[in-house]
Structure 1
Amino acid sequence: MASRTPPVADRSEDEQRPVGRTPRRRLSVDERREQLIAVALDLFAQRPPEEVSIDDIAAAAGASRPLVYHYFPGKQAIYEESLRRAGQELAGRFEEKAEGALSERLHRVMGRYLDFVDSHGPGFAALLRGGSVAASPGTTAVIDEVRRAAYEQILLHLALREPSAGVRRTVRAWIANAEITSLEWLGERSVPREELQLQLVQEFVVALTVTAAREPGLALELADFFTAEQPDGPTGRLVRDLAGLLGVPGLADALGRLAAGLAAE
């Protein structure tokens, strides 16, 4: 009896390849899984997760739908794993050597952060805005881990002996502000990326200065911080901009009146 020719779906990749074409190396189990994650992450970076299907992932990976399901139980699982990998990469971008002026270090950090936001926009935007049907406790945990890493890195850069509750609130509030501001920028592109990068760093300097105005101990630490800053750095440029405001007609007089009123109390 003639042997049965196996259907195409049952054949190996090499058996399905036309005669004369150089066979591709078969991927190992780990390699195939990593390939699917990489392909999925790329798709989720281009489109919101709800707009990406298992069929899209399979097609982009040059694989079959059943093969994707062999490695992942569904789209949510591959989305969470892709997000976890992206989250690890993003958390790593907050790491910076404790060398040089603080604002210059943060400027480099925010440059890497905005690079990431720019290249992974739609998927992260949908999640952080709370509008993604793919959001879950797993994805939320990933974002929380990134925020924690950012928080710890900023505190390391401040190098305060005992960060007060006010300082910790300031850092957390700035991280939240950086998220909101960068995601709004992602949708509007109303300013150049370099301008936003500088703005976010200067907003941190301002927030820290306001906190120091209420905490004498932090104010002493802030003196060392400003001493290390350079005139052409983010903080130096901020101080020049603020000093320039005093040239606005009536503003210096108004500020002087407020300051005199406080001194008289």
Structure 2
Amino acid sequence: MTASRTRMSPDARRRQLIDLGIAMAGERPLETITIEAVAEAAGVSKGLIFHYFESKADFHLQVVREQAQGMIDRTAPREDVTDVLEVLRSSVSAYVDYVSHKGNAFIGVIRGAASADPDIRGVADRTRAVMSERILERIPEMGIERSPSTELAVAGWMAFVEETLVRWLADPVTTREELIEILVGALPLLSQLVGDTVGTIEQLH
């Protein structure tokens, strides 16, 4: 449905266009969203959109940035919980709920690492870095020392979570609660396994 044209401040108009892009990206892949479709939905000319964004690629980048920030904000650790595993469970639960409601948006962000656009790849990488750092800051509370090896394990866990969620979106063979327990339980096991393996190798040397 085409919106009727209304006068807006530059900031409000830019916000409107990004919000339309985010809404569309929740329904279909980002790369299929055209400037023409956004212009029609906003009730403005295509030329006006290029007043706010340098190109279609720039518009897509701003949409991905907003999606990524929304995901980061939604999964922020709870400050009223002290037990590290409960903090992790809370964040993973929020992550799963975000994915349940914004599947295409989630896929658009995490698949950004494979994008041909280096700026979109950068958004995906920074999003992972923020979420990984949250875990690494608290991992000593699990009795696991932070080290290059555990950083590698956390990066691997993030990839496991992402791929599991993509598959679950396509075919939810487990309940939400079962999925959360799988994801939460995998992190301390993987990190501890890496720590034990490194310790054994060091003893052998």
- Is the shorter-chain TM-score for this pair beyond 0.5, marking a shared fold? yes
The residue that corresponds to 2:203 in the other structure is none
What is the number of residues matched between the two proteins? 192
1:167 to 108, 133, 150: 150
The residue that corresponds to 1:92 in the other structure is 73
2:167 to 166, 179, 184: 184
The residue that corresponds to 1:211 in the other structure is 194
The residue that corresponds to 2:53 in the other structure is 72
Q: Is the Cα–Cα contact under 8 Å of residues 39 and 57 in structure 1 kept in the other structure?
A: yes
**Residue 3 (structure 2) pairs with residue 56 (structure 1):** no
Q: Structure 1, unaligned stretches of length 5 or more?
A: 1-12, 14-23, 217-265
Instruction: Quote the Cα distance in structure 1 between the aligned partners of 2:174 and 2:145.
Output: 37
Instruction: Quote the Cα distance in structure 2 between the aligned partners of 1:165 and 1:105.
Output: 23
Pairing 1:31-50 to 2, within 5 Å after superposition:
31-50=12-31
Q: Is the Cα–Cα contact under 8 Å of residues 113 and 120 in structure 2 kept in the other structure?
A: no
Q: Is the Cα–Cα contact under 8 Å of residues 41 and 79 in structure 1 kept in the other structure?
A: no
Instruction: Quote the Cα distance in structure 2 between the aligned partners of 1:44 and 1:173.
Output: 27
Quick one: which amino acid aligns to residue 50 of structure 1?
E
Pairing 1:131-142 to 2, within 5 Å after superposition:
135-142=116-123
Q: Is the Cα–Cα contact under 8 Å of residues 90 and 116 in structure 1 kept in the other structure?
A: yes
Instruction: Flag the structure with larger Rg.
Output: 1
Q: CA deviation at 1:162?
A: 5.6
Instruction: Quote the Cα distance in structure 1 between the aligned partners of 2:175 and 2:145.
Output: 37
Question: Residues 127-174 of structure 1, C-alpha deviation per residue, up to 9 Å, x if partnerless?
Answer: 644798x64101100010111101110011224696122211111110
Q: Structure 2, unaligned stretches of length 5 or more?
A: 200-205
**Residue 130 (structure 2) pairs with residue 119 (structure 1):** no
Instruction: Quote the Cα distance in structure 2 between the aligned partners of 1:93 and 1:123.
Output: 13
Quick one: which amino acid aligns to residue 191 of structure 1?
T
| Two-structure CA RMSD over aligned residues (Å) | 2.5
1:83 to 64, 72, 75: 64
Instruction: Quote the Cα distance in structure 2 between the aligned partners of 1:98 and 1:167.
Output: 26
Quick one: which amino acid aligns to residue 136 of structure 1?
D
For the residue of structure 1 that corresponds to 2:146, the secondary structure is coil
- State the TM-score, normalizing by the size of structure 2: 0.82
**Residue 85 (structure 2) pairs with residue 103 (structure 1):** yes
Q: Is the Cα–Cα contact under 8 Å of residues 98 and 157 in structure 1 kept in the other structure?
A: no
Q: CA deviation at 1:81?
A: 0.4
Q: Is the Cα–Cα contact under 8 Å of residues 93 and 113 in structure 1 kept in the other structure?
A: yes
Q: Is the Cα–Cα contact under 8 Å of residues 64 and 108 in structure 2 kept in the other structure?
A: no
Quick one: which amino acid aligns to residue 127 of structure 2?
V
- State the TM-score, normalizing by the size of structure 1: 0.65
> Percent identity at matched positions?
30
More helix by share: 2
